[in-house]
Amino acid sequence: MAVGAALVFEGGPGLSYESVRERLTARLHLIPRYRQKLVEAPLGIAGPVWADDEDFDLDWHLDHATLPAPDALRDYVGREMSRRLDRSRPLWELHIVDGLAGGRVALVSKMHHALVDGVAAIDVSTVILDPSPEPLDIPPPDEPWSPRAYDPGAHIARLAATPFVRAQQLAMDTALRALDTSPRSAADDLRKATDLLVELARQRPQAPMTPLNEPLGPDRRYATARADLGAIKAAGKAMGGTVNDVLLAAVAGMLARYLPAGESEPVALVPVSIRLEEERGEMGNRISMVFVDLPTDVDDPAERVQRVSAETRALKGSAAVRAGGLIAGATGWVPPAVSSLLVRAMGGVRAHNIVVSNVPGPQQPFYLNGSRLLQASPAVPLNPANQRLTVGILSYDGGVSFGLLADRDLAPPVGEAAAALDAALAELLGGPT
């Protein structure tokens, strides 16, 4: 369940291990969660809490590698996304990877989804980058960092009060999402929302069984595709859809080519950020989700966009989005037993075939120690049970990057899915197919 990205930079002396380490050291105080780890409550009677890592060592979270061939970055990302993060330490890693074509250097980041959602991951990345070749002058903290020891007694003492404190926050969050909730009724609303989300999945026709939904192994492969954001915007305007509609239509075109002929319409689980503007920069998750039927049976690209657009318009503001948003807002105070019941309930429903996650990134160039960030390709974690392919989408500086993370044994292999996506994008954007 790690969120990852491959950030490719122009080469330069500012991308050596020592230089990157120096930059992180200077700005680590801006990302306090990077020095915290998860600590379990005694006897498992509550969810884990974030606590300072008293043995924090930055070098445990940094690595350096040289590729054996200039085009081997995707293989490197696949291998790194196969490794589980060390749960006894802060849940992130950063790899400095050289040996790319043209002297370019990549930073491969990896953060557990408990630490960030996609939007927060972008915010974290921009903390260590600069909006110009000249590094920002960021003052150091007033005092050197000193870890606070974990107090299990304080953790237990908070149990009685926590539901009420969280309920108040939940009430404010959900009011802003057009839900009528009060602290007194928050627990009952949470139960109803959980029931609703599960029931929505159960009432839908079960997603078709496809090669994407076989049991997972432990290893991953990774592939990428790219498109021009301006061309995608123009296609959406011409075809009567949004940028997101065009991106989902491209995934539908990919699956129409990739899946065996005659497959029923696959279903995409599409995370929707419900992070408020004033919450930008906060860690944690602020997401909801919707199910979108992908029109793989439609040959005309314009009609495919229109079909997707009609469905996404109907879903906006639906009870499903609001229910999912309530659950995301409550994450952290739901007792572990309740959380596990929800996971098991959803696990018994094949509600979707693929996850498609689109995160809008900054539309200006960023730099690290004077070297320009050229592109950023995301990696979205796979469902632990039976979902063998995810499509992460990230826009940056006029381009759109697609990252396809797959089970190593996915057949046909993920490279063929990426080739099918390239063809679908060319068809939508008017290029050669």
Q: Which residues does the annotation mark as catalytic?
A: 113
Which residue is listed with tokens 């993370």?
A: 405
Question: How many other CB atoms sit within 10 Å of the CB of residue 75?
Answer: 15
Tokens of 196: 């609703």
CA atoms within 13 A on the CB side of 286: 20
Number of separate helices (H) and strands (E) present in the chain: 12, 14
Distances 321 to 289, 318, 329 between C-alpha atoms, Å: 6, 5, 12
For residues 424 and 402, is the Cβ–Cβ distance under 8 A?
Answer: no
For residues 101 and 74, is the Cβ–Cβ distance under 8 A?
Answer: no
**Distance between CA atoms of 284 and 326, rounded to whole angstroms?**
15
For residues 390 and 381, is the Cβ–Cβ distance under 8 A?
Answer: yes
**Distance between CA atoms of 302 and 385, rounded to whole angstroms?**
34
Residues 114-126: b if buried by 16+ CB within 10 A, e if exposed:
bbbbbbbbbbbbe
The closest alpha carbon to 124, from 366, 411, 424, belongs to 366
Tokens of 45: 């009677």
The closest alpha carbon to 31, from 122, 164, 148, 149, belongs to 122
Query: Coil, strand, or helix at residue 254?
Result: helix
Residue type, 186: A
The closest alpha carbon to 325, from 370, 275, 372, belongs to 275
For residues 372 and 203, is the Cβ–Cβ distance under 8 A?
Answer: no
Long-range contacts at 276-284 (CB < 8 A, ≥ 24 apart)? 276/176, 280/119, 280/123, 281/120, 281/123, 282/120, 283/31, 283/33, 283/115, 283/116, 283/120, 283/124, 284/115, 284/116, 284/117, 284/120, 284/331, 284/332
